[in-house]
Amino acid sequence: MSDALIETLLKAPYVAKFGVRFERKGDELTGVLPYEEHLVGNPLVPALHGGAVGAFMEIVASGALLASQTLVRLPKPIDVAVDYLRPARAADVYARAIIGRSGARVANVRVEAWQGRREAPVATLHGHFLIKPEPVDN
């Protein structure tokens, strides 16, 4: 657990601006992106901006890595691949991450984002993050 870094992550100006928050149960973490008009990408559809949803999933990936282990600094994205499955409507978005592998330097993470129905995700992310775990004393 890296509670102090989770605070740092959520207090970063960009993250705070968009009101992202985490709901935690032990090492399980669900991200919440509360709906605001400034998240809309195309008001004609209307749909949330793909970049906003993608960025939110990156934040949730970092949050999940920090909730699962002790890291000494914030994870840094190396690469991400985002699939957009449905238009994200003008409503709150939720996301949860699955850590595929978390090694000494790099972590592989998948994130799923949904709105009304968990079974109908609006987007998924798959990415690699540079991490720095706390050194283990032997």
Partner 1 sequence: MPESLQELLNRLAPLIVDGSPHAQALGLALDGLGPGRATMRAPYRKDLIGDPDTGVMHGGVVTALLDHACGVAAFSGLGAKETPATLDLRIDYMRPAEPGHDIIAEAECIRAHGLIAFVRATAHDGDESDPVATASAAFMVTRPSKEAAERVRKAIETGELT
Q: Which residues bind partner 1 (CB under 8 A)?
A: 8, 11-15, 17-18, 37-45, 47-52, 54-56, 58-59, 74, 76-84, 87
In whole angstroms, how close is the CB of 70 to partner 1 at the nearest point?
18
Q: Give 67 or 88: the residue with its C-beta nearer to partner 1.
A: 88
Q: Which residues contact 7 (CB under 8 A, 6 or more apart)?
A: none
Residue 10 burial by Cβ neighbours in a 10 Å radius (0-12, 13-18, 19+): middle
In whole angstroms, how close is the CB of 68 to partner 1 at the nearest point?
20
Q: Which residues contact 98 (CB under 8 A, 6 or more apart)?
A: 109, 110, 111, 112
SS3 59: helix
Q: Give 45 or 104: the residue with its C-beta nearer to partner 1.
A: 45
In whole angstroms, how close is the CB of 25 to partner 1 at the nearest point?
25
